[in-house]
Chains A and B, each alone.
Chain A
Amino acid sequence: MSQPTNEQEIGERFRALEDGSEPVASSQLRRFVRDRAFVQAAPLPRTAAAACPNPFRRAVVGIAAAFLLVIAGTGMWLSLHGPINGENPTASPTESASPSATSSASAEATGSPLGPTDSPSLGPTDSAYPDPWTTYSFRPAPKLSPVAIAGNATIGTRQRTGSDKPTNLQWDFFEPVVATPGRGAGAAINSSVQALFDSRVAELQQEFGDPQRGGPPEHTVTLITSFAVLSSAGPRSDPSAGFVSLRIVYSFNNPPWADAGPQYIDFLVYDLKTGKRISISDLFTNTAAALQRLSAAAAADPGITQWTYPGPPTTGYEPTPENFVMWAPTRSGLQTTFGWLQLGSAVSGTPAFTVPWSQLSDLFKPNSYLAWYAAALSSSTAYPSGTLAYGTFGLTGSMLAPEGTLTTTLLQDGRVLLTGLAAQLYDPSTGAFVATGQMPNVRSGQTATLLQEGEVLVAGGANSDGTAFDASAQLYDPKTGKFTATGSMTSARSFQTATLLKDGRVLIAGGNDTIQVVNSDGSESPINELASAELYDPKTGKFTATGSMTTGRAFHSATLLTDGRVLIVGGSSDAPVWSAPGAGLASAEIYDPSTGKFSATGSMASARSSDTATLMKNGRVLITGSVSWGQSNGAAEVYDPTTGKFSAATLSATGGTEATATLLQDGRVLIVGGFGAGLYDPQTGTLSATGSMVISGYPKSAVLLQDGRVLVLGGEATGAAAEIYQP
């Protein structure tokens, strides 16, 4: 039999796995069930009273959607604690901030009902929906200061809640509120948005009350909204003119409804001078011709066609205005999003594609805002004032080799060095990845650390044929783009940590020293986590042993504290992670460079490995993401170096396995994980949702760029996609 070369044949192979002689569970396993040995193996959970509500009716929700799940520059603070404070102040035109203030809107949040705290206040509902149902928990909304958009207008947030007893529906809206200097325009926009919300609620009330669809759910379901300002611009010649483009996502906060994705997405573009909604038919001198181009572009876009299964879409992007109603002006072009099932009954999700302005500009109505916007964008690399779309992700160049362990190191010149299967450089000014020097070894589990002199120390990892871990290390020189050998570590290591100390040396701690192998009888060779640690001195180019950790660790985190000590957290211990609940490590320790010794510090509430640790501006360390006994553990904890203790932080709906956490310039932390992205604000202790990645999934790495944006790599395990987050 030859190797399968197409998808159909691959599918057939897997289908043929069963040929009538299927393996069956052993008698031992069967006895484990019949003798109820599992009862002894696991004590009963505390209570069984917390039952999950019925899964939401599929007919209403459609199939689960991954994309655009949660979006909000300014919105979406979901409350688990019942009614929140009353309305937030609406936008005031007198408080016009500079456009750059948009990016720090949430950081300015004040007056959270819970006050500034890192400690949790988790209601009973949190324990009511533990795994296997996803736990969602958010904190009440902070008040927002209005921020400036184009045309001397400002935008703020107002919260509106309501409920309908007969249908068990609640709503908890975060509405955009626009204030314009001109009379009436802002009010017209706001009433238009509200009318839309009201109509959405009415539709849901009808659905929830429909006995044909199962009638009202047993438990209250809350519809929540979030909004983002996608873009806003106006001509400098007329400060009262401009447009604002909003995206509003409606979703449910109650699992498992929440899993099913957003209920609706609305894209709204308003004229800030007249308050009128701009439709796609208002844009072009020849709408039919423009729609033809959009339709053809959709058909040719692999981002659209890859969404189709099993074949290409046959409906949904014909050149009619209805098919392109979800449009938005973005920096890269006119973006269209397709709704659920729009491209066929098998196509869930909300795929989007963008047509560059250059392909449409000849059809724009003269003197329209969009014509101006497109021209401004294409004529200059600098963004015109007021056009920053904040809180959103966008694709950038593709990686050359996404496989293996990807390290990201911000170089002093602003570029980012990636090591992994190949070494490559990301240049934020061009958005491109280019190959750089040849690494002597193909790497997995290595570390890459920027040294004070600007070179990068790459240490350890798997060797080139993957048969062993490596003790060797290289220095990368960004000036020459070359790797050169430096001293070798005292031990082979992989999945260790490397931390630049204040004196310029690098602390290497823990890791695995041998590759585990599976023997022919299925048994596994022991896996060893190292407790040993060593120091690299760039002056001598040598590694020397230093004190050992109190316990062996790999897949742990290491964070340089502001006082120069290093916090080591979690990791996997010698015991296989699946052998017992909590077999990751909850313990933590501190390395003191002045004594060269590790000592135990407080322990986390939950065991974790592959966790992220982020030093925040207040000197504390945010720990999030992890695997603990196979459960992805989204709960975040905060370490306070002054007390040496961990305290629980807001539960994170976006953490989980393989999360990344990146400190932003404004002090918030961007967390990107399995289920989306969130912003943690240490000032308020709140986690708020933000725009979702273009390619969803588990990012491999994320790094803060010098301009404040974040490069997020590898939305998919094998994907080469890279995205930029604009705070």
Chain B
Amino acid sequence: MVSAEVPVDSRAHAFAQLVDRRLNDAYRLAGYILGNAPDAEDSVQEAIVRGWQGWGRLRESERFEPWFDRIVVNVCRDRLRRRRTIRFVELDEGIGVHGTDPFAAALARVEVDRIVGVLDPDQRAIVLLRFWRDLQVDEIAERLGMPAGTVKSKLHYALRALREAAERQAAGGVQ
């Protein structure tokens, strides 16, 4: 148990060790949700800061992974929510990003880059956690801080939206 009496240095050391182990995973999670590397980089950095602020409240270090994931996902969701006011130029227009950005490139390679634009932030996170991370619904629920039923129904709607978007695209309806 971490307590207030433990010096900051050793607490920071323990935290840094745990984060370091999860860093690549967190980076990729953020990258696939957000679709580009600069955003992923910023989000993970922010998640680390937020994680550090909440570190004292995480009691069991074996639960670090879902806990940190949750922070990463929350940061990304907020970023996407904020982005709801803007256009996803890198997805809609593809102005040269696919060639250079590793996440945009990966999303383009498996040909989901254009259709994930139809998903809202929560759905995007859920779909990635479910299929890319291969997590079960209750594990996703833990990471998103929402009830499993909500995750399940959001997943359902997300898949439907993806399917419909893919069908529209296949029919030539999406530019």
Contact = CB atoms under 8 A, between A and B. Distances in A.
Interface in A576-599: 576-578
Given A25-B27, A63-B138, A717 B54 contact: no
Question: Which 10 residue pairs of A and B lie closest in terms of their CB atoms, listed nearest first?
Answer: A48-B56, A66-B149, A349-B149, A522-B38, A66-B147, A14-B131, A630-B78, A516-B86, A23-B102, A717-B120
Contact of A522 (B8, B81, B101): B101
B154 A697 contact: yes
Interface in B124-148: 127-128, 130-132, 134, 137-138, 141-142, 145-148
Contact of B85 (A13, A22, A306, A527): A527
Contact of B155 (A15, A32, A309, A630): A309
A63 B141 contact: yes
Interface in A294-337: 306-307, 309
Contact of A306 (B27, B40, B75, B153): B153
Interface in A616-641: 627, 630-631
A424 interface: no
A515 B41 CA distance: 23
B4 to A, nearest CB: 5
A45 B166 contact: no
A45 B54 contact: yes
Interface in A12-42: 13-19, 22-26, 28-30, 32-34, 36, 38-39, 41-42
B89 A517 contact: yes
A613 interface: no
Given A32-B48, A515-B87, A697-B150, 9 more contacts: A5-B170, A23-B31, A25-B24, A26-B41, A38-B49, A45-B57, A66-B152, A630-B74, A696-B149
B138 A29 contact: no
A519 B110 CA distance: 23
A64 interface: yes
Interface in A671-692: 674-675
A113 to B, nearest CB: 29
Contacts of A69: 147
Contacts of A41: 49, 52
A44 B82 contact: no
Contacts of B46: 578, 630
A7 B159 contact: yes
A39 B49 CA distance: 8
A47 B56 contact: yes
Interface of A: 1-7, 10-11, 13-19, 22-26, 28-30, 32-34, 36, 38-39, 41-42, 44-45, 47-55, 58, 63-67, 69, 129-134, 259, 261, 306-307, 309, 346, 348-350, 445, 466-467, 494-495, 512, 515-524, 527, 554, 572, 576-578, 627, 630-631, 657, 674-675, 695-697, 716-719
Interface in B1-22: 1-4, 6, 8, 11-13, 15-16, 19-20
21 contacts: A10-B159, A13-B111, A15-B131, A15-B134, A17-B32, A30-B20, A30-B23, A32-B48, A33-B19, A33-B20, A45-B53, A49-B3, A53-B59, A64-B149, A65-B149, A309-B152, A516-B86, A518-B86, A520-B97, A576-B82, A577-B82
Contacts of A5: 163, 166-167, 170
B4 A17 contact: no
A42 B46 CA distance: 10
Contacts of B154: 697, 716-717
Given A11-B131, A516-B86, A718-B157, A65 B67 contact: no
Nearest to A63: B138
Contacts of A38: 12, 15-16, 48-49, 51-52
A244 B63 CA distance: 45
A49 B148 CA distance: 30
Contacts of A49: 3-4
B23 A29 contact: yes
B82 A10 contact: no
Contact of A696 (B44, B82, B97, B147): B147
Majority secondary structure of chain B interface residues (helix, strand, loop or mixed): helix
Contacts of A52: 57-59
A454 B50 CA distance: 49
Interface size classification for chain B: 35 or more
B87 A10 contact: no
B141 A64 contact: yes
Contacts of A467: 87
Nearest to A134: B145
Contact of A64 (B1, B11, B138, B170): B138
Contacts of A28: 41
A100 B170 CA distance: 55
Contact of A259 (B96, B106, B132, B145): B145
B103 to A, nearest CB: 6
Contacts of B39: 522
Contacts of B95: 520
Interface of B: 1-4, 6, 8, 11-13, 15-16, 19-20, 23-24, 26-28, 31-32, 36-46, 48-60, 63, 67, 70-71, 74-75, 77-79, 81-83, 85-90, 95-97, 100-103, 106-107, 109-112, 115, 120, 122-123, 127-128, 130-132, 134, 137-138, 141-142, 145-150, 152-163, 166-167, 169-170
A36 B48 CA distance: 10
A332 to B, nearest CB: 21
Nearest to A308: B152
A17 B150 contact: no
A29 B27 contact: yes
Given A11-B131, A15-B134, A18-B132, A29 B79 contact: no
Interface centre among B15, B53, B83, B161 (most CB of A within 10 A): B53
Contact of B36 (A1, A11, A67, A518): A518
Contacts of B36: 518, 522
Contacts of B63: 55
A255 B151 CA distance: 19
B27 A716 contact: no
A459 to B, nearest CB: 17
Given A7-B159, A10-B163, A259-B145, A695 B85 contact: no
Contact of B12 (A10, A36, A131): A36
Contacts of B156: 306
A435 B88 CA distance: 30
Contacts of A259: 145, 147
Contact of A25 (B8, B44, B79, B167): B44
A374 B20 CA distance: 63
Nearest to B98: A520
Contacts of B132: 14-15, 17-18
A130 B57 contact: yes
Contact of B166 (A10, A14, A55, A350): A10
A466 B87 CA distance: 8
Given A36-B13, A38-B52, A306-B156, A261 B23 contact: no
Please indicate which of the listed interface residues A47, A51, A54 has the most CB atoms of chain B within 10 Å of its own CB.
A51
B103 A23 contact: yes
Contacts of B134: 15
B150 A44 contact: no
Nearest to A523: B38
Between A10, A309, A524, A719, the greatest number of chain B beta carbons within 10 A of the residue's beta carbon is seen for: A10
Contacts of A527: 85-86
Contact of A716 (B50, B77, B82, B157): B157
A24 B12 CA distance: 23
Nearest to B160: A718
A500 B77 CA distance: 33
Contacts of A578: 42-43, 46, 75, 78-79, 82
A349 B154 CA distance: 14
A131 B15 CA distance: 17
A24 B27 contact: yes
A346 B70 CA distance: 22
